[in-house]
Structure 1
Amino acid sequence: MKKVLLVTDVSFWEKCSGHRMRISALIAYLASHVQLTVVNTGPAPENIEQILSAEYSAEFHILEKKRYLDSNSYGRKLKAFLKNRHFDTLIIEYIHSSYFLNFLREDVKLILDAHDIISERTAQFKRFNYAGALYELPRETENEIFNVYDKIMVLCAPDYEQINTMIGPGKALLCPHPHQIHHHSISKEVKNIVFIASAYLPNKDGINFFINNCWPAISEKSAMQLSIYGTVAEGVVINNQKNISIKGFEPDINKIYEEADIVINPVRFGAGLKIKNVEALAYGRPLVTTPHGARGIEAGQDHAFLVANDAIGFINAIASLIESNELRTYLSHNAMTFIAENFNVNTCFEPLLEEINKNQ
């Protein structure tokens, strides 16, 4: 069995955002197929290693539990932990953690779980006047870092194609985020429109755009409620509009979808696959998103979910769902089928496992 080391600075055990859920799912899959060791920078709860080892059946190590360190200090701690250990494959979560490579042996297969193409995200943020809001990389620098790795994991087909264009064919691994199917009945009447998201800036922008430009027209015709879940709630501006309920973080995700009649994701920019959209479809909820939100799930458009190009498009799409139980039922069934066929765990992660099992 291959020995794999995964290094991350993400507190994936909290499971309160898409990227945490992604890393958690990846660890769960690898733990059942390889001899897995996960190193996290920390800080972290004192007993987290034991808790995670019991949950995932893998080895976990926190470099520093009580405080944040600089990159050199983390690197030295990782080097000390790895002394006299050998791994066949190293997976780095996110390109910003590539500094760890300076502290590792060279005779290991290197895989970057990129999640997003940062130069693409940088361009998207600038387009919507959010330049400098997150760390940025020019395309040339990102290419140089990509070329250090043997393979680059990405979550959606557009990024897969872009990586192969940027650094040559054969370097990218398409490994989307998997999700199990959860069946919920479709209510005859729409009472609750739901948005679930983290405090990531494009999520805040998207829901505030929807509240300002779509919700007045929707709420004027109906007494339904807009329920906003997740840490994104901290950045929501209601402006005295009616029938908006700020729910905040709800640990029981099943409860949220049980009560959701329609799910929206009005995200206008960003990068990568929108994991919250995969989740909504897996729960069989009628989804309305944007062209950007449909990135990586384009094949499901118009039969597994609806796409709105602008505010009027959102208003009309939601109106059509409110009026037609048949349409909601149709989308719900197709959504679960779409996820089962395209986003099951084997389809998503087998390309990675095949690469791990290849000889150097």
Structure 2
Amino acid sequence: MPRLLVIAYSFPQPDEASGELRFFTLLSLLASKHKVLFCALSENGTTQPRNQASAQLEQAGITLGEVGLPHVLRHFKPDIVWFEFYHQARSDYLGLLERYCPQARLMVDSVDVHFNRLETRARLTGKTEDAAAARQMKAQELTAYASADMVIAVSNDDRQLILQELPQMRVEVVPNIHTVPSFPDRGKRHHGELLFVGGFKHDPNIDAMLYFCQEILPRIITTHPQTRLKIIGSNVPQAIQALASEHVDVLGYVPVTAPHLQSAYISVAPLRYGGGMKGKVGEAMSYGLPVVTTSFGAEGFGLQPDEDLLIGNDAETFAAQVIALLDDTELHDRVARRGYDFIKQHYSVPAVEQLLDSAMQGLLHVPPRKIPLHRKLKLGIKGWYMRNIAWRFTQA
């Protein structure tokens, strides 16, 4: 059974955000076919304390790293190392891996292409500081990707973005993954109930709700005054709390979103910038809930606009698409069924598991990286020094 070392900043919390749910689900699938050791390492390299999220990993058959990375690598020789996000592929961690397990293949899970998200924000705001932040992020992110044997992207769009910058890089797509329940009965939905789900540590979600409540919702209420919006998501800032009104319920974090996905009539995702694949869109469609979003919200899925979901890239069009679903039950049912069938075919657990297995098998067949002779000598001298001399000073 191949040995897999996963390095992340924290233990995944699948009830907090779609990216966390994806990560946890992928780890659970990997644990059935790999010996998985999970290291949650803080910025200073120490292990994060156990919590409820770490217990969920153990229940999934995953071993937790209890000590720092040097000790782990002296006793666990991985075939593959999985970095969650580019910023975990740090130079100090890479140095330790080169020293203790040079045969290991390295993989970075991009989750989304961060510099693309910042570039789209800079285009929206026109601010020079946003453009500078995007350039800095791009340099850091591409450096991390270039250090790996493989990069995982969540969509083919993200894959192409990476290949444009790193044409020789091996990039595989392992997208968001959704458990798909039975298709629901529209009669159980509450007509006029709109739903937004998204964690508010993510700036695009804050912008989306401010934009929707200020520019889109008033247009809908003009013709449909009974319309109400539910806002669900963790880490709600004051600016979002302040949106609460007779037409807006700010629920914040809820442990289970399913009851709300089953009762809502329409899912809205008015994202004006961002990158990657939007879990809120896929989750809503997996529950047979028709979605109105923007081109950013639909990005990466391969969906057909006006068939699988509705698109509105300005306030007037977005409001009109919501109103059309409220007024036309035939349109509502058709979009709901098309989106549901699409997610079930392409992003259900069985569908994504095949892509994950293919990526892992492909990585195992990548030849180990060759370490230059001068690097081998340097690593050998450093190892000898640590074993025979440095320990004396720690004992003193």
| TM-score of the two chains, using structure 2 as the length reference | 0.81
TM superposition shift of 1:153: 0.3
Counterpart of 2:259 in structure 1: which amino acid?
K
Q: Which residue of 2 aligns with 1:80?
A: 71
Counterpart of 1:309 in structure 2: which amino acid?
N
Structure 1 residues 285 and 47 mapped into 2: Cα distance closer, same or farther (>3 Å)? closer
Q: Equivalent residue of 2:316, what SS?
A: helix
TM superposition shift of 1:162: 1.7
Separation in 1 of the partners of 2:363 and 2:27? 14
Assess if the C-alpha contact under 8 Å between 1:4 and 1:87 holds in 2. yes
2:81 matches 1:90? yes
Structure 1 residues 132 and 12 mapped into 2: Cα distance closer, same or farther (>3 Å)? farther
Structure 1 residues 52 and 226 mapped into 2: Cα distance closer, same or farther (>3 Å)? same
Q: Which residue of 1 aligns with 2:299?
A: 295
TM superposition shift of 1:84: 2.6
Separation in 1 of the partners of 2:132 and 2:117? 9
Assess if the C-alpha contact under 8 Å between 1:233 and 1:248 holds in 2. yes
Separation in 2 of the partners of 1:57 and 1:153? 23
Q: Which residue of 2 aligns with 1:103?
A: 96
Q: Which residue of 1 aligns with 2:262?
A: 258
Counterpart of 1:86 in structure 2: which amino acid?
K
Q: Deviations over 1:91-141 (max 9, x none)?
A: 100011111223223221011001122222221232233746997535344
Q: Which residue of 2 aligns with 1:210?
A: 212
Q: Which residue of 2 aligns with 1:116?
A: 112
In the TM superposition, 1:235-254 aligns within 5 A as 235-236=239-240, 238=242, 242-254=246-258
Q: Which residue of 2 aligns with 1:354?
A: 361
Assess if the C-alpha contact under 8 Å between 1:219 and 1:242 holds in 2. no
2:176 matches 1:185? no
In proportion to residue count, which structure has more helix? Answer: 2
Assess if the C-alpha contact under 8 Å between 1:175 and 1:351 holds in 2. no
Separation in 1 of the partners of 2:366 and 2:161? 26
Separation in 2 of the partners of 1:230 and 1:320? 26
Counterpart of 2:260 in structure 1: which amino acid?
I
Assess if the C-alpha contact under 8 Å between 2:303 and 2:309 holds in 1. no
Q: Equivalent residue of 2:13, what SS?
A: helix
Q: Which residue of 1 aligns with 2:5?
A: 5
Structure 1 residues 228 and 134 mapped into 2: Cα distance closer, same or farther (>3 Å)? farther
Assess if the C-alpha contact under 8 Å between 2:155 and 2:174 holds in 1. yes
Separation in 2 of the partners of 1:51 and 1:350? 22
Structure 1 residues 81 and 335 mapped into 2: Cα distance closer, same or farther (>3 Å)? same
Separation in 1 of the partners of 2:306 and 2:148? 38
Separation in 2 of the partners of 1:266 and 1:338? 21
Separation in 1 of the partners of 2:290 and 2:332? 6
Assess if the C-alpha contact under 8 Å between 2:14 and 2:22 holds in 1. no
TM superposition shift of 1:309: 1.3
Q: Equivalent residue of 2:176, what SS?
A: coil
TM superposition shift of 1:214: 0.7
Structure 1 residues 135 and 346 mapped into 2: Cα distance closer, same or farther (>3 Å)? farther
Q: Which residue of 1 aligns with 2:346?
A: 342
TM superposition shift of 1:296: 0.6
Counterpart of 2:58 in structure 1: which amino acid?
S
Q: Deviations over 1:276-307 (max 9, x none)?
A: 11111111101000001110123332211111
2:23 matches 1:23? yes
Assess if the C-alpha contact under 8 Å between 1:15 and 1:24 holds in 2. no
Assess if the C-alpha contact under 8 Å between 1:266 and 1:290 holds in 2. yes
Gaps of 5+ in 1: 64-76
TM superposition shift of 1:62: 5.0
Separation in 2 of the partners of 1:141 and 1:246? 36
RMSD of the TM alignment (CA)? 2.4
Gaps of 5+ in 2: 42-46, 368-396
Structure 1 residues 245 and 110 mapped into 2: Cα distance closer, same or farther (>3 Å)? same
Q: Deviations over 1:45-92 (max 9, x none)?
A: 4576454212x11212355xxxxxxxxxxxxx1111221321110010
Q: Equivalent residue of 1:198, what SS?
A: coil
Separation in 1 of the partners of 2:77 and 2:246? 59
Separation in 1 of the partners of 2:296 and 2:48? 34
TM superposition shift of 1:145: 2.5
Deviates more, 1:162-171 or 1:319-328: 162-171
In the TM superposition, 1:188-203 aligns within 5 A as 190-199=191-200, 200-203=202-205
2:58 matches 1:53? yes
Separation in 2 of the partners of 1:134 and 1:266? 25
Which one has a bigger Cα radius of gyration? 2
2:225 matches 1:226? no
Separation in 2 of the partners of 1:126 and 1:191? 34
Q: Which residue of 2 aligns with 1:73?
A: none
Separation in 1 of the partners of 2:213 and 2:24? 32
| TM-score of the two chains, using structure 1 as the length reference | 0.89
TM superposition shift of 1:334: 1.1
Separation in 2 of the partners of 1:240 and 1:198? 17
Counting matched residue pairs gives 346
Structure 1 residues 190 and 48 mapped into 2: Cα distance closer, same or farther (>3 Å)? closer
Separation in 1 of the partners of 2:192 and 2:350? 36
Assess if the C-alpha contact under 8 Å between 1:304 and 1:338 holds in 2. yes
Separation in 1 of the partners of 2:311 and 2:240? 23
Separation in 1 of the partners of 2:137 and 2:56? 39
